[in-house]
Amino acid sequence: MRILQLLPELNVGGVETGVVDLAKELKHRGHTPIIVSHGGALVEELRRHDIQHVTLPVHRKSPLNVWRLIGQVAQLIRDERIEIVHARSRVPGLIGYFACRRTGAVFVTTCHGYYRPGWASRVMGWGKYVIVPSQVVGRHMAQRFDVPIERIRVIPRGVALRQFAYRAPVERPQQEWTVGIIGRLTPLKGHAVFLRAMARLARTAPRLRLLIVGDAPESKTAYRRELEGLVRQLGLTPHVEWLGTRHDIPAVLARLDALVMASTYPESFGRAVIEAQAAGVPVVATQVGGLLEIVQDRVTGLLVPPGDPVALANAVGEILHQPALAQQLSAAARKRVETAYTLDQMVDATLRVYQDALEVTRLLVMKLSAIGDVVLISPSLQALREKFPRAYLVGLVGPEARPLLQRCPHLNEVLLCHRRGRDRGLRGLLRLAHVLRPYRFDASIDLQNNRTTHLLAFLSGIPHRYGFANGKGSRLLNHRAARPTEPLPPVEHQARLLALLDVRPDPSGLACWTSEEDAAAVESLLQRQWLSAHQRLVGLHPGGSRAWRTKSWDVKSWAELCDALGRERIRVVLTGTRDEEPLGRELAKRSHAQPILAMGKTSLPEFAALVKRCQAIVTLDTAALHIASAVGTPCVALFGPTDPRRHLPSDATVTPLWKQVACSPCYRRRCPLPFKQHLQCMTKITVEDVLTALRPFLREPMEQVPTVVSTEPGA
């Protein structure tokens, strides 16, 4: 792999050292690391290992500078054929992100601290994967930056054990202890607390040595002077050595009897801690941030409250006065480092993230319409999973279809679009785009194909947007398939779009995913209605969308069909939603056959299990016919204003009845014809037509018959 790391500078520090260590290991393992920074003391280390460094002012926060560098970094990505861009800070992150958008390289970030959720910090959550050094930083990115958990990877920093030879603590005379603190000079590191605590120890240990490793940045030199004044005030001048920035940390640790991490602000990790533990130096740390994860109190070190010099002094004194405790903590800490915090483990985990970033495609499939239409995308979901077995595949559907996909084995997650609720209108669309954007999808597959979904994919920042060139805002797509001019069955229609991804769904692969619990619930419902195990059962689904009154068949005909089936000793179950119960009660009232009224008594998966339990089902052009096809139950479907050639699944178990009249198919929700001709496309379908279509499925044993479209000359 060819990896570009971006960070502001390469001066000595935990982040910078980790970048150099990673680059050296990547080079050793045969990869090509390149680093872009403003330069610094560690550049020479890269040159000694023949690692390319490019000096650019990526530390400057000027918007003009950022804009100018985006083009330069993008050109570098092209020239060096970079596959992964790994950003380590905010300004380099902005540059890297937009350079990746121009070039198609994969963008990854590492969050080395607790960023405030301002606009400039948001970029640290924009990586395809967001690496964090500790669980606590991962929670921070999830809660404050809305980064989905599945995009966060916890990779603790690692120590090159060969550089830190283990030396067990030795018992020393009381006057010869050496205690150190390592870190940049900033109030957050708690140097003032450390000095006050050590002043207490110095009263009984006149030869106590205090090593302060690190320096203040140029913008905070006044803080160094404040600490020097505190040293004089506490009478610690003879005890303190100001070592400044050091490159020989192993040599410094070899002098210590204890290391203190006195941080008052949550640490993201604490590299100095694991280096000390690797070298056998007992550690006392404060109970903040990532330190709680790498120091197990009284197992691998001692923990104290932040900002408490008395507790800190007591803990350090306990280690210095009890050699047995120091040796116990030291041995356990070294073992912990060997099992959890080695450089090899860090590099292995980082390479896995890089590999996943290259191989795992994040796909959003959008289908916001009715339940039946969502059933019809099941072959496409299966085909996408087969084509992209490692993809993170997310379905975006309406809330009514969610139960249908909850058990879908091809989806990693189901998201909801409340088109008639909170996601309505432009404001709702912007809200939903804000939800989708943190997922950092690589591509959207728009199976809804309307202005809303095209705009949603664009607003969500999805780089590859697939859909049909249908004139409905399709200019917002950057991968367009020609819209078919001839009527096509739904799955074949989807296949025209999916061909852009070399995906070929199986038209006969409709599926509904039910459980044993769903089947048991259905059996319980039927047993309460005294249905015998050997009695034939036919489902009637008389309801449908309220918006499509033109699809309805009159209740008198449904009642006659129910009675006709009863005369043939077939039990009828009326299926539908709770809203359709009044229709079911009216139908049952008109019938003498005492049908089972199941409307509103099943969940969507239970409804699918009930349809599967039936020997056949009669339905209008609704979701029920698609669910029947998905579970393998023969179905007679009544069509009127719609064309079955465009809506039927490619399944021989579905028999459509369609009385073509002069205006067929009109696709009108209200019939414009006068009273005598009103809804004639539906009224011309007779009970006998339905019985004739049903009987082949009710024979013993049940036989399969080919699909037949019943037609009649236009009126």
Assigned CATH topology for domain 2-154:
Rossmann fold (3.40.50)
Distance CA 587, CA 597 (A): 10
**173 pLDDT band (50/70/90 cuts)?**
low
Distance CA 287, CA 275 (A): 19
Higher pLDDT, 550 or 161: 161
Output the CATH code of domain 360-501.
Answer: 3.40.50.2000
Percent of the chain's residues with pLDDT above 90 = 59
The two tokens of residue 373 are 């239409």
Sequence-separated (6 or more) residues with CB below 8 Å from residue 167: 254, 279, 280
Sequence-separated (6 or more) residues with CB below 8 Å from residue 84: 1, 2, 3, 4, 105, 106, 108, 354, 357, 358
Overall average pLDDT of the 137-146 stretch = 91
Hey, where are the domains in the chain? 2-154, 161-339, 360-501, 525-698
Looking at residue 676, its pLDDT comes to 57
C-alpha distance from residue 87 to each of 35, 108, 181, 669, 674 (Å): 10, 6, 29, 54, 69
Q: Is the pLDDT of residue 675 over 70?
A: no
152-162 confidence digits (pLDDT tens): 999 999 998 98
Distance CA 415, CA 152 (A): 19
Residues 22, 33 contacting (CB under 8 angstroms) = yes
| DSSP helix/strand/coil, 339 | helix
Percent of the chain's residues with pLDDT above 70 = 96
**281 pLDDT band (50/70/90 cuts)?**
very high
Looking at residue 379, its pLDDT comes to 92
Residue tagged 């200019």 (tokens):
475
Q: Is the pLDDT of residue 696 over 50?
A: yes
Residue 435: what residue type?
Answer: V
Looking at residue 172, its pLDDT comes to 72
Residues 494, 483 contacting (CB under 8 angstroms) = no
Distance CA 596, CA 669 (A): 30
Overall average pLDDT of the 684-712 stretch = 66
| Burial class for 706, CB neighbours closer than 10 Å (0-12, 13-18, 19+) | exposed
Rg (CA), the chain: 35
Residue 337: what residue type?
Answer: V
Assigned CATH topology for domain 161-339:
Rossmann fold (3.40.50)
| DSSP helix/strand/coil, 131 | strand
Looking at residue 701, its pLDDT comes to 40
Average pLDDT over the chain reads 88
326-336 confidence digits (pLDDT tens): 999 999 999 99
Looking at residue 702, its pLDDT comes to 39
Peptide bond into 701 cis (omega under 30): yes
Q: How many CA atoms lie within 13 A of 296 on its CB side?
A: 12
The 10 Å Cβ neighbour count of residue 502 is: 7
**709 pLDDT band (50/70/90 cuts)?**
very low
Assigned CATH topology for domain 525-698:
Rossmann fold (3.40.50)
Q: Is the pLDDT of residue 593 over 80?
A: yes
60-104 confidence digits (pLDDT tens): 989 999 999 999 999 999 999 999 999 999 999 999 999 999 999
Give, in degrees to the nearest 5, the angle at Cα 681 between 680 and 685: 95
Residue 594: what residue type?
Answer: Q
Torsional class of 632: left (φ above 0), alpha (ψ -120 to 50), beta (otherwise): left
The two tokens of residue 480 are 């367009």
Residue from 619, 614, 656, 459 nearest 544 by CA: 619
Overall average pLDDT of the 383-400 stretch = 93
Looking at residue 592, its pLDDT comes to 86
Looking at residue 713, its pLDDT comes to 36
Residues 279, 250 contacting (CB under 8 angstroms) = yes
Asked whether this chain's domains 2-154 and 360-501 adopt the same fold, the reply is yes
**175 pLDDT band (50/70/90 cuts)?**
low
Q: Is the pLDDT of residue 652 over 80?
A: no
Residues 477, 466 contacting (CB under 8 angstroms) = yes
| DSSP helix/strand/coil, 62 | coil
**563 pLDDT band (50/70/90 cuts)?**
very high
Find residue 85's DSSP bridge partners. 4, 107
The two tokens of residue 582 are 């009044």
The two tokens of residue 524 are 């319980």
C-alpha distance from residue 692 to each of 538, 638, 649, 714 (Å): 14, 13, 21, 22
| DSSP helix/strand/coil, 376 | coil
Q: Cα-flanking dihedrals φ and ψ of residue 526, to 5°?
A: -70, -35
Q: How many CA atoms lie within 13 A of 703 on its CB side?
A: 9
Distance CA 346, CA 369 (A): 46
C-alpha distance from residue 404 to each of 366, 399, 605, 607 (Å): 15, 10, 6, 10
Residue tagged 């049908």 (tokens):
595
pTM: 0.78
Region of poorest pLDDT, from 19-23, 80-84, 159-163, 531-535: 531-535
Q: Is the pLDDT of residue 118 over 70?
A: yes
The DSSP result for 350-367, as a single string, is HHHHHHHHHH--EEEEE-
For the chain, give the number of residues. Answer: 715
Looking at residue 704, its pLDDT comes to 40
Distance CA 417, CA 605 (A): 20
Q: Is the pLDDT of residue 679 over 80?
A: no
Torsion of CA 200, 204, 208, 213, to 10 degrees: -10
Sequence-separated (6 or more) residues with CB below 8 Å from residue 677: 715
